[in-house]
Structure 1
Amino acid sequence: MQRFQQTLAAPVELEEVGIFSGQKVRIVLEPAEAGEGVTFVLEGVSGAPRIPLRPEHVLGTEGATVLSDGYHSVYMVEHLLSALHGLGIDNVVVRVFGPEIPLFDGSAEVFVREILRQGLRLQPALKRYLEVLRPFEVRNGVGCLRFRPAPEFRLRVRIAFDHPLIGEQILQLTLNPLNYQKELAFARTFGFKEDLLRRKEKGLLRGGDLSNALVLDESRVLNGPLHRPDEFVRHKALDLVGDLFAAGIPFRGEVEAELSGHRLHIEALKNLLSAPGVARLSDGLAPVAFFFLAPKKRSFRAHY
């Protein structure tokens, strides 16, 4: 397990058409000082507001994870956050020129490839972790997230879809930078033809096409082949890794996700952080208490 914080060795610049806006979107990832965490700078907005990556600034929706300070928002942050979390990057400035983060092929592979092309730099500060101290569970209908203490990041993800190519799929993995690159980074998001056509007709996916995601009809993938037979559950795991980074620091513990999505991931994380004695911020040597003020309204049942 990594002991020291990391940032980028050099800036990384990426550009692509946004799936929601249909506009060219550019992002620039820049090194940040130790302890600064992840900060988004909205360069396309007057005054270039800065939004630190914190739980209170992150929202989970049905199809994406959103960063917002209540006035300005950036959509589709989950795959970028997944790449940062998966590679063990603690400190970075993300300059966004547009309303969303590019989707590229629907995976985290472009982010990973371009970040590693520039390289990473160790920093003279101990790594901080969000550490699970005792079991904790959050349910929402059929969906469930269970957290347990563990000395590393372990995940178990289960999905179930009534489709001949998906059905029930389960993935178990101990997350580290190498495993993330080999087992998750390539996994593309997926959707069903009828749903995507409906959203296109409503103008919700102005930049979406068959290059952004795996698209399935009733029996097959229209734009295959799959990278792995279980690429679907691997992408759900990729999303989970990104959503858990909404805490702004890497996760240490075991998490089991059943039939979950962005909304449940983010709400479960906020419940975890607000429950007394369940999680703490630890630097590996001198743990300190971690406090988070959760929203007053909750629609999720938490058990611990």
Structure 2
Amino acid sequence: MEYQRTVADVVIFEGEGVFSGKKIRVEIHPLRENEGIVFERADLSDKPRIPLVIENIVGLEGAVLLTNGKESISLVEHLLSAFHGLGIDNALVKVFGEEIPLLDGSAFPIVRALQEVGYLLLPAPRKKFVLKRPFQLVNGVGKISFKPSHKLSINARIYFEHPSIGEQTFKFTLTPQDFIREVSFARTFGFKDLLEERKKKGLLKGGSLSNAIVIDKEKVLNAEGLRAQDEFVRHKVLDIVGDLFTLGHPLLAEVSAELTGHKLHIEALKALSQAGLLEEVSTRALTFLWIPKKKRRSF
């Protein structure tokens, strides 16, 4: 029986905003059952809150934006991937800035911070979305498809004409253990020339080799190299796990993504929602379970 989860205590991390160049603090606070994931712009005087629902999501070329139409928080995808991967259903995320810090470019620093605090089980069954029928969306060379399933599985394929990348594929079924072991460590990546161009235009005011894999025309520039030979496609799966959670609940589906990005992922999820192809279901709650502090489990 699956119960909803929240964090057992406040989780705090800080880092440089890749867009703003500012130091940004993020606090993750516990919430009760059925409150969902809620973000707060804690740096603003009125501290506006934005719930995580697909209507408040914008998919950009290289990031996911959460917005209420007035205030926004960008780069939420890695944090959402950690929540989704570890099964966190309810949390208040206070962000003292307009973006989530990129940290090392993966979800692992957030996963580690969540593990250190652990989680609490709440007296309510988990809510999930299931598909009513298969769905596919194609946009240019990118294609993403969804098939009904009793679990979430992802089959991703990427291709870059570069000696360090080329064609890579990765198949993954989501469980907390496999998310931590197989996906959470994979870093985002970018091409040196493009990053330098964006910095000159003022689009990027932060960012370095410490929070992304950076590639020139021939090789990976990071002195430590790759964490896995197929780290690039593993990060794609990390992004998909995060993007899927913009629905507000986990999605049970067989997902196939070829040459896709955030923009196509979010476009597809909005199409699923607007077409009424998603059905919310819940597992049956049996007993109230609250874990005392000394018995709190890590993920």
Q: TM-score, normalised by structure 2?
A: 0.93
Q: For each residue in 1:204-243, what CA deviation from the matched residue of structure 2 results, as whole angstroms up to 9, or x when unmatched?
A: 1111111110001111100041111000000011001001
Q: Measure, in 1, the Cα distance between the counterparts of 2:60 and 2:235.
A: 16
Amino acid corresponding to residue 242 of structure 2 in structure 1: G
Post-superposition offset of 1:275: 1.6
Within 2, Cα distance between the matches of 1:132 and 1:254? 10
Alpha-carbon separation, structure 2, partners of 1:254 and 1:36: 27
Kindly report which structure 2 residues correspond to 1:117-156, keeping only aligned pairs within 5 A, or say none. Answer: 117-156=116-155
Q: Which residue is 1:254 aligned to? A: 254
Q: Which residue of 2 aligns with 1:297?
A: none
How many residues matched? Answer: 284
Q: Which amino acid aligns with 2:173?
A: T
The aligned residue for residue 301 of structure 1 is none
SS in 2 for 1:151: coil
SS in 1 for 2:168: strand
Unaligned runs of 5+ in 2: 286-299
For residues 87 and 284 of structure 1, what CA distance do their matches in structure 2 show?
17
Who is 1:169 aligned against?
168
| Residue 66 of structure 1: how far off its partner (Å) | 0.5
Deviation at 1:285, TM superposition (A): 5.0
Q: Aligned letter for 1:232? A: F
Match of 1:240 in 2: 240
SS class of match (2:181): helix
Pair 1:40-2:39 in alignment: yes
Q: Separation in 2 of the partners of 1:274 and 1:187? A: 32
* Amino acid in the other structure paired with 1:132: L
Counterparts of 1:1-304 in structure 2, within 5 Å, are 3-223=2-222, 224-276=224-276, 278-284=277-283
After TM superposition, give the deviation of residue 128 of structure 1 in Å: 0.5
* Rounded Cα–Cα distance in structure 2 between residues aligned with 1:19 and 1:193: 15
Q: Show CA shifts across 1:81-139 (max 9, x none).
A: 00000101000000010111000010000100000100011111000001122110011
Residue aligned with 1:130, SS: strand
Alpha-carbon distance in structure 2 between the residues aligned to 1:275 and 1:87:
29
Runs of 4 or more consecutive aligned structure 1 residues displaced over 4 Å after TM superposition:
none
Distance 2:190 2:57 in 1: 23
Matched-pair identity in %: 50
The 3-state SS of whatever aligns with 1:7 is: strand
| Distance in 2 separating the partners of 1:284 and 1:263 | 31
Q: Match of 1:46, SS?
A: coil
Give 1:46 deviation, angstroms. Answer: 2.4
Task: For 2:122, give the aligned amino acid.
Answer: Q
Deviations 1:244-268 (A, max 9, x none): 1111111111111110000001010
Offset at 1:24?
A: 0.9
Give the 3-state SS of the residue equivalent to 2:55 in structure 1.
Answer: helix
Which TM-score applies when normalising by structure 1? Answer: 0.92
Letter in 1 for 2:252: R
